[in-house]
Amino acid sequence: MPSYGADGERYGARRQVGLAVGIMVLALATPYVSEGLQQQVAFTLQASVLRPFIATQRGLTEASANAEQIDRLQAELDSLAGLVATQAALADENRTLRQLLGLAERAGPEFLPATILRPGTPGSESSFIVDLGSDHGLREGAPVLTARGLVGRITQVRSRSALGMDWTHPDFRASAMVADGSTFGIVENVRGEFREQDRLRLNGTAYYQTVSEGARVVTSGLGGVFPRGIPIGTVEATAEVQGTWLKSYWLRPAAEPGSVTHVLVETVDGPSDLSALWQTDVPAPQTPPVALETPRVAPPTPPADPEAPPGGPGR
């Protein structure tokens, strides 16, 4: 007759194996549960266990951005010090900050500034978290911009935060055209062997249309995903010629997602054409005359190319 101890051990072992098999089945089923449930689980974990770590990253990002901004402002303040003393400090600082955020000022209240957070875990390289959500008017598909151009779009919106993908995501597509409207196509991400080698390619352009190197490529607004006129990049070289039908071109991206920490996100009431934001004929934000006369602050000279934005698109 077997002892109780041996029976108990066998039962315990069987129970452990059963538990392990059950959890493995649960894990295998996880990728196939509904997207809503996946979001719910992710959001619950982000708002509980992972919250301190996300808050730490947000704090560090803001501190880093503040430090950078202070350096830039310090350089201008050095040259303006004599005149600043005669003016109200708060008003002057406010005006200088608005200069730095020229794009935000031109864009108007339909665009909200946001901070980008990157999880930094494997598999999340092309995604980011934005500290705005549906409470602020964000919607799925909203474009994410910098002064240089398109960074990506919002994919999931929660009440006070949102998830987005940048242009290095395999699913990224944008209906695009050359800035002069002569050629249309689709811009998509082409993954490199390493993530740093990810590139943008303008596909599906007509064979008989030749696009010159350096031509600006912007969103065309076709398809309704992105508003018209957002810079995507500039043409670098011909990528491929398919028979006598199609050509594709490599693009130099306007915005490098890896270096972006602050962005503008379109809200529900955003305009359908954003060309004016990057046009030279848009009146520049009002600048104090003293800033234009100081030697260390470069005066805003009109660029030679009438198509180019003031000083280039954020360059």
* Closer to another protein by Cβ: residue 47 or 268: 47
* Min separation Cβ 256 and another protein, Å: 16
The span from the CA of 59 to the CA of 287, in Å, is 31
53 binds another protein (CB under 8 A): yes
State the minimum distance, in angstroms, from the CB of residue 6 to another protein: 17
Q: Does 159 bind another protein (CB under 8 A)?
A: no
| CA end-to-end span of the chain | 85
Q: Report CA dihedral (288, 292, 293, 295) to the nearest 10 degrees.
A: 130
Instruction: Dihedral sign for Cα 266, 268, 274, 276, please.
Output: negative
The stretch among 47-55, 82-90, 176-184, 213-221 that binds another protein (CB under 8 A) is: 47-55
165 forms part of the interface with another protein (CB under 8 A) = yes
Q: Which of 26, 75, 81, 241 touches another protein (CB under 8 A)?
A: 26
Query: How many other C-beta atoms lie within 10 A of the C-beta of residue 58?
Result: 14
Under rule CB under 8 A, residue 36 binds another protein: no
- What is the closest distance, in whole angstroms, from the C-beta atom of residue 14 to another protein in the complex? 10
Radius of gyration of the chain (CA): 25
State the DSSP string of 181-214. SS-EEEEEEE--SSGGG-EEEEEEEETT--PPTT
Contact between 284 and another protein (CB under 8 A)? no
The site for another protein (CB under 8 A) is made up of 12, 15-20, 23-24, 26-33, 38, 41-43, 45-46, 49-50, 52-54, 56-57, 60-61, 117-127, 155-156, 163, 165, 170, 191, 193-194
